[in-house]
């Protein structure tokens, strides 16, 4: 069985979408893949309850308990590696990762970013897209490399930017698409790699 470890910091709605897709799409049988664990850097991440309700082991590693980013990432790697991951999925994990972390999971580390990369890497993507006068926005699933929000693009979805949109309204529209493309990209990762 191939193991997926999902990292979250907050609501975990992308994680939930992946867990539901794995259940409904019978990934265990079809892809020999399962969500083996959900790891959060925040004990109050709402997504942890969802994972527990679905019988998925969870772990919390508070970044504030570590003196440096390097120390935290080393402990995070040890925690993740307990679950022998074939794929590590960043799903709203709000930490900048060290080069050592990224190198350790090269080729098996995915992220979703709420813009049509390579446009609007970094934070505050929705307001930046509105301010630039974009007619379209969207989300991108990509391999994670040392450079922030770069790396091979695996999936994208496009939504319109509507007149009068707020960043919040646009974010909500984009998020509905994230919930479709992220599970699909994760399943695609396994069908390509191990099919």
Q: Is 113 labeled as catalytic in the residue annotation?
A: yes
Comparing every residue's Cβ against ligand GRF, the nearest one is 92
Q: Which of 3, 10, 150, 180 is in the footprint of ligand GRF by CB under 6 A?
A: 10
Query: How far is 35 from 38, CA to CA, in rounded Å?
Result: 8
Kind of pairing between the strands at 58-60 and 33-40: parallel
CB nearer to ligand GRF: give 74 or 167. Answer: 167
Cβ 40 vs Cβ 48: under 8 Å: yes
Question: What count of residues does the chain have?
Answer: 195
Q: Does 12 bind ligand GRF (CB under 6 A)?
A: yes
Residue 138, Ramachandran bin (φ over 0: left; ψ between -120 and 50: alpha; else beta): left
Element (H, E) at 125: helix 125-131
* Bridge partners, residue 110, by sequence: 89, 143
Query: How far is 140 from 164, CA to CA, in rounded Å?
Result: 24
CB nearer to ligand GRF: give 145 or 193. Answer: 145
Q: Does 11 bind ligand GRF (CB under 6 A)?
A: yes
CB nearer to ligand GRF: give 19 or 175. Answer: 175
Greatest Cα-to-Cα distance within the chain, rounded to the nearest angstrom: 48
Binding mask 87-106 for ligand GRF (x = CB under 6 A): ----xx--------------
Q: Does 140 bind ligand GRF (CB under 6 A)?
A: no
Considering only CA atoms, give the Rg of the chain: 16
Interface segment toward ligand GRF; rule CB under 6 A; list 3-11, 18-26, 34-42, 64-72:
3-11
Sites for ligand GRF among residues 149-188 (CB under 6 A): 175, 178
Which residue in 54, 63, 113, 142 is the catalytic one?
113
Task: Give contact residues for ligand GRF (rule: CB under 6 A).
Answer: 8, 10-14, 91-92, 112-114, 139, 175, 178
Q: Catalytic residue positions? A: 113
């Amino acid at each position: 069985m191939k193991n997926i470890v999902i990292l979250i910091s907050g609501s975990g709605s992308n994680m939930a979408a992946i867990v539901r897709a794995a259940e409904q799409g019978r990934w265990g049988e079809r892809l020999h893949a399962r969500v083996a664990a959900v790891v959060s850097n925040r004990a109050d991440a709402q997504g942890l309850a969802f994972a527990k309700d679905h019988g998925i082991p969870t772990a919390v590693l508070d970044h504030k308990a570590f003196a440096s980013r390097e120390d935290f990432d080393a402990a995070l790697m040890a925690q993740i590696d307990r679950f022998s991951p074939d794929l590590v999925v960043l799903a709203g994990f709000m930490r900048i990762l060290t080069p050592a972390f990224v190198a350790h999971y090269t080729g098996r580390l995915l992220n979703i970013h709420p813009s049509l990369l390579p446009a609007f890497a970094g934070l505050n993507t929705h307001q930046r897209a509105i301010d630039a006068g974009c007619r379209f926005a969207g989300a991108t699933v990509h391999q994670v490399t040392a450079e922030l929000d770069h790396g091979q693009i695996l999936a994208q979805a496009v939504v319109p930017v509507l007149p009068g949109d707020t960043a919040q309204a646009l974010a909500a529209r984009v998020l509905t698409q994230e919930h479709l493309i992220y599970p699909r990209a994760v399943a695609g990762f396994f069908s390509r790699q191990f099919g």
